Structure 1
Amino acid sequence: MDPTTASDSPVAPIFVYGTLMAAPLLAWAIKGDSSKAGDVLSQRKPGTITGSKRRRVHRRDYPALIRSNDTRTVDGYVIFPTSPSEWKKLDNYEGSSYERTPVVVDMADGSKLDAYTYVWKGEAETLADEDWVFAIETERLDAWLKRFGGMVLAG
């Protein structure tokens, strides 16, 4: 899949399943300003991938996606970056413990979409056996935004 030609966007869509599901964090990551959360809502659509597990990373607020050989599903959002810069900023946000990997997303309208997602390539022993639950918006969002205050991702 060529990231510069997929979908209606200038770059390929990216499926996110963790902290970037929180609109203020997504806005901070790609727009540089968490207060632009309303602006990024049109850049995301709900979707699900099959054959993966979302695991909690020990002592962290964020999850890891690992492949599985079953029919488990992971819900999240497909992000439609508006520029190669936004795409690069998402890569920088995820960091070196993740590898951008092609995936097929089942969209809420019943269609399928070729996209990318970030699969865990870190140490397996850092993952918990239980699934990660998306609660950052209600429990830890302020701490995350404070942590990134004044920082801007390169892209």
Structure 2
Amino acid sequence: MAHLFVYGSLMWPDIMARVCGPDAAPAHPPQPARLTDHARHPVRGQDYPGLRPHTGAEVAGRVYLDLPEAAWPRLDAFEGDDYQRSEVLITGPDGLPLRAWTYLFKDDRAHALDPGAWDEDRFDREGKARFVERYTGFHATPKAAPG
């Protein structure tokens, strides 16, 4: 099992559960975590962010510990072509370094990111409901593999 660092819409457990599906939902709630030398930017025209390397910056997010293997194909499909799953070293909930996967916005798509920081509170107030209503991919993500 592997860990997932999230920094956008997947920080909300209800969205994460919909993406993973009932057979691959996280067993534990997300916990606070941080990723250094990266920045989170709004994706132009969307409510969710993209994550890019940025020396000296830090992103506060969450980590889902020990995700079931069946979750990964669904997460990959959810993130789509703009993102690439990459292994990073985060500061875990206990303050210690922890290896985790995250989804980085691809280099060749970086032009679609707006300057400035993505606003987590604004997403919670305004963007989350719109995102859930708009995102039809919840039903298109692959079913978890049996077993």
Class of the TM-score when normalised by the shorter of the 2 chains: 0.7 to 0.9
1:83 counterpart = 2:68:
yes
DSSP 3-state at the match of 1:99: strand
State the match for 1:31 in structure 2. Answer: 21
Match of 2:78 among 69, 93, 115: 93
Instruction: Decide whether the 8 Å contact of 2:26 with 2:67 is kept in 1.
Output: no
DSSP 3-state at the match of 1:77: strand
Match of 1:153 among 119, 137, 141: 141
Within a 5 Å distance, the mapping from 1:115-154 to structure 2 comes to 115-121=100-106, 122-134=108-120, 135-148=122-135, 151-154=139-142
| Structure 1 residues 108 and 66: CA distance shift in structure 2, 3 A | same
Aligned equivalents of 1:23, 1:137: Cα separation in 2: 12
Unaligned runs of 5+ in 1: 1-10, 33-38
Unaligned runs of 5+ in 2: none
Match of 1:42 among 13, 28, 48: 28
Q: CA deviation at 1:125?
A: 1.9
RMSD after superposition: 2.3
State the match for 1:103 in structure 2. Answer: 88
TM-score w.r.t. structure 1 length?
Answer: 0.79
Deviates more, 1:73-82 or 1:125-134: 73-82
Instruction: Decide whether the 8 Å contact of 1:53 with 1:66 is kept in 2.
Output: yes
Q: Name the count of aligned residue pairs.
A: 139
DSSP 3-state at the match of 1:144: helix
Q: CA deviation at 1:132?
A: 0.7
Deviations 1:68-104 (A, max 9, x none): 2x22110111123542111221111111111111101
| Structure 1 residues 139 and 91: CA distance shift in structure 2, 3 A | same
Aligned equivalents of 2:52, 2:85: Cα separation in 1: 12
